[in-house]
Amino acid sequence: MMNNSTLELAKVLIARRSLTPDDAGCQDILIERLEKIGFKIARMRFGDVDNFWARRGDAKPVICFAGHTDVVPTGPVEKWSSEPFTPTLRDGMLFGRGAADMKTSLAAFVTGIEEFVAAHPGHSGSIALLVTSDEEGVAVDGTEKVVLALQARNELIDYCIVGEPTCAAKLGDTLKNGRRGSLSGTLVVKGIQCHIAYPHLGKNPIHLAAPAIAELANTTWDQGNEYFPPTTWQISNIRGGTGATNVVPGTVDIEFNFRFSTASTVESLQAKVHAILDSHGLDYDLDWALSGKPYLTPKGSLVDAVAQAIKDTTGVEAELSTSGGTSDGRFIADICPQVLEIGPLNATIHKIDECVAVADIEPLKEIYRLTLVNLLVTK
């Protein structure tokens, strides 16, 4: 197979204007390649979102590569050095929306699997792909729905590699072995509206909430653990007042978010927040929204297999990290005990002139291929 096969496939994918949740035909391209090497395809469309589950083999272990074909909007096109959906090679880089996040990873998945299957057509275990077009959006009809469908038929995954861009300075330097959870709250503290010149006739909810806010901001929620930093609580928005300068408001709305580790649970965080609010005697309403549970893959067979593949390909000793926001790994962890994220450098993701180093593309494919060797080939 020619050494530029991954680059060429990445360029074909980047040329598709697959703005969330529009797949723009990217999945058809991937599916055609996978069917040629013996994958069985299950297309799963939910709402406006195209997804597919592909599998080669019926035995365990099941090794899944997971990713998304959708990309974020380009921003002002005139600020790009070249057209965002025209893959462009310049100064050793491949430019285009989705180059790093994450069409190059998808291309490397496919070419890496093609090379592995060509060398090991009767491989043990199973190889799978889970691909969605709704990771960058609301992520309601994407990976989460596919996982639920697989769970319903008891089709579980043993190892999963998510192709998110994880690396900081050089390819292979960072392996994401978990992500923090995200728990948001919308708090409405109630007071009594009145004329500001007669404060004794009302109750200022902003004043009432302030001591509770201070306590929440200074609370230690947990100490974190070996893999995670301590849980954080942050206010994102506060809204109060009528716009007039002579009216004490009747309510204040406060939106906050926890980024939390496996050292806490949703229930423990909620209970502690309510206890603090109640201790200040507040009259309030509080609505909760969980957008992602934390997950963690400790050191073990998948970490070892991927880390060795990285070292053999690049010479780099990968570091484990749980930093960053949420990813679709949070859904896959429900049916897979070991989930890792490894992809290209993340310095330009979601930016103008998103790009990936051409010199990193084939090594990324090789990391994925060698991971399959390490997990499925008896030595």
Task: Measure the CA angle with vertex 185, ends 327 and 208; round to 5°.
Answer: 150
Q: Which two tokens stand for residue 331?
A: 């859904």
Among residues 70, 114, 141, 360, which one is catalytic?
Answer: 70
Q: Does the active-site annotation cover 83? A: no
Whether residue 6 contacts residue 107, with contact meaning beta carbons closer than 8 Å, is answered with yes
Pick the closest to residue 7 from 160, 129, 110, 80 (CA basis).
Answer: 110
Q: Is 278 exposed, middle or buried (0-12, 13-18, 19+ CB in 10 A)?
A: exposed
User: What Å distances lie between residue 224 and 221, 231, 270, CA to CA?
Assistant: 9, 7, 17
Among residues 101, 114, 115, 135, which one is catalytic?
Answer: 135
Which residue blocks in the chain are alpha helix, DSSP H? 5-14, 26-36, 104-119, 143-152, 205-218, 266-279, 301-314, 329-332, 358-376
Count Cβ atoms below 10 Å from residue 119 Cβ, excluding itself. Answer: 12
Q: Does the active-site annotation cover 70? A: yes
Task: Measure the CA angle with vertex 370, ends 97 and 88; round to 5°.
Answer: 20
Active-site residues, by number, are 70, 135
